[in-house]
Amino acid sequence: MDKFIFTLAFLILATFSYGQSDSTGTNITGPSFIEDSNPTMIIVIESEEFVIDDKKSLSKIEPSWIKKIEVFNQGLYVERYKNKDGVVLIYPKKKKISLVKEVLEID
């Protein structure tokens, strides 16, 4: 179970930083085993949940736009979205909501 949580957390970090450089110019990528896990990714904007089907669009969100990330591998969210790989809730910062909506094409 701990390995699953680590893998899921690593997936989130890899998704948001894949192919992006940090301030030192280091390119951050994730290993190929991450592709075996496919959690449901959800953007939460003002208490409304938007399921993100296109994982590549998440790479357009800047990490600095994110306020909080929650990872669930059991319980209500996993049951609601029927995903044994878990559910990831992503909360953008209030000042960045319009940018997130634009990038993800949410009305």
The DSSP 8-state label assigned to residue 33 in this structure reads G
Residue bearing tokens 């969210």: 77
CA distance 56 to 46: 23
Confidence check: pLDDT of 4 > 60 = no
pTM score, whole prediction: 0.65
Q: Which pLDDT band, with edges at 50, 70 and 90, does 22 fall under?
A: very low
Amino acid type, 29: T
Domain count for the chain: 1
pLDDT score, position 77: 86
Give the whole-number percent of the chain exceeding pLDDT 70. 66
pLDDT tens digits along 52-69: 888 788 888 899 999 999
* Residue 31 pLDDT greater than 80, yes or no: no
